Amino acid sequence: MPKVLPSGAALLIGFLFLAGFPLIGATFYVQLGAKIMILAIFALSLDLLVGHTGLVSLGHAAYFGVAAYALALMSSKYEAPSLWLTLLGSVAAAAAAAAIIGFFVVRTAGVYFIMVTLAFAQMLYSVFHDTAVAGGSDGIYIYIRPEFTIGALKVIDLESPTRFYYFVFTLLVCVYAFLSKLLRVPFGRALGGIKANEMRMRSLGYSVFSYKLAAFVIAGALAGLAGYLAACQFGFVNPEILAWHQSGIVLMMVILGGMGKLPGPVIGAFVYVLLQEILSAPVFFGSYAKHWQLGMGTLIVVIVLAFPRGLTDLGLILRRRREPDGVAAEPNPNG
């Protein structure tokens, strides 16, 4: 039986691989890597709600889309907008939307929470789809990507695929480190307690509403960061990025990788996107590639049945098989 790397070593190898990937990958794969890392940030934001607070949202794409539209509306056709101004403005817009919506939705629980988050997301979808506020159903283009300049010097230029890749990579590492720290402080421990037994936390004097609302706003802001980056990469925003199926896709990534374990959403994002790319490639499956959703659905069912707690449990399962007594210590869920 091959040896299984400890989680810390696996994270380090993953970090080094991503850091060096642009040196060996073609432009297409560098852009694909950036796309996956953006979705990993999106999935991490949702996992803060689903995996660590116990709030299953089907409207999380709303904050992703609000930030993307905020960038589009702050951009100009003729000159590059300020990177930091648009970044802060977009994330603030997503956080504000999450605060307003969260004030109402965190008062509910269970299936009612799921339905209310979905309802608010569909309301925002209708605002952008049915009105001319931002191009209607046709969407809106971002003609020039934001940049950070000091005088005449371009410090950060997102027009370069490699520089954009490293910008996204840096933000992914920052988001991962931030959540890792957040979940280890008393605030994060309280979220875990709310997920495990909300009534007990309430009886101990915790303001459950305030904790849940704070988690909801933080998750919305991080989703907004992912939406901002997606708008920068593709240069186009339309109402479909706020639709409910986008929330379903990112929830699927969280489940695939493993809820409540920080490496899980990142792994889930990579697995989902890479499976989609492979199954939809005519070079592999010819004319059957247009039916890639069927193969994707089948593989997801198989993965979920084989690893009910996500692909992050693969290492634990292999370690258990190596142990003489069949028992291995539980890994740190926060990586």
DSSP readout, 121-169? HHHHHHHHHHSSTT-GGG-EE--S--EEEETTEEEEETTSHHHHHHHHH
3-state secondary structure of 236: strand
Q: What is the dihedral of CA 155, 25, 180, 109, to 10 degrees?
A: 110
| Cα gap 287→8, rounded to integer Å | 42
Nearby residues of 2 by Cβ (< 8 Å), 6 or more positions away: 318
* pLDDT of res. 4: 47
For residues 142 and 262, give the distance between their C-alpha atoms in angstroms, rounded to a whole number: 32
pLDDT score recorded for residue 78: 80
Note the pLDDT of residue 115: 94
Give the N- to C-terminal CA distance of the chain in Å, as an integer.
Answer: 24
Q: Which residue reads 């992912």 in tokens?
A: 226
Which residues make beta-bridge pairs with 153? 150
Separation CA 18–CA 166 (nearest Å):
9
pLDDT at 2: 46
In 197-215, which positions are buried (b, 16+ CB within 10 angstroms) versus exposed (e)? ebeebeeeeeebeebbbbb
pLDDT at 277: 92
Rounded distance between C-alpha atoms, residue 104 and residue 244, angstroms: 19
Which residue is it, tokens 């802001």?
Answer: 221
Quote the pLDDT of residue 1.
39
DSSP-assigned beta bridge partners for residue 236 = 141
C-alpha 216/C-alpha 210 separation (Å) is 10
Write the CA distances from 179 to 174, 183, 219, 332, integer angstroms. Answer: 9, 6, 10, 14
Domains contained in the chain, CATH given: 7-322 (1.10.3470)
Cα-Cα-Cα-Cα torsion 254, 211, 108, 260, nearest 10 degrees, comes to: 20
Residue 236 dihedral angles phi and psi, to the nearest 5°: -155, 140
Q: Which of 11, 4, 5, 3 minimizes the C-alpha distance to 335? A: 11
| Pairing outcome for strands 153-157 and 147-150 | antiparallel
CB 124 within 8 A of CB 242: yes
| Positive/negative CA dihedral, 40, 41, 43, 44 | positive
Place of tokens 């890479």: 274
Specify the pLDDT at position 49.
95
Q: Please give the chain's pLDDT, 335 residues, in tens.
A: 345 455 677 788 888 899 999 988 789 999 999 999 999 999 999 999 999 999 999 999 999 999 999 999 998 888 888 888 999 999 999 999 999 999 999 999 889 999 999 999 999 999 898 887 778 888 898 888 888 776 666 777 788 899 999 999 999 999 999 999 999 999 999 999 999 999 999 999 999 999 999 999 999 999 999 999 999 999 999 999 998 889 999 999 999 999 999 999 999 999 999 999 999 988 888 888 888 889 898 998 998 888 888 888 776 666 666 665 555 555 555 55
Give backbone dihedrals phi and psi of 156, rounded to 5 degrees, phi first.
Answer: -130, 115
* Gap between the Cα atoms of 262 and 176, Å rounded: 7
Label residue 51 exposed, middle or buried (CB < 10 Å: 0-12, 13-18, 19+): buried
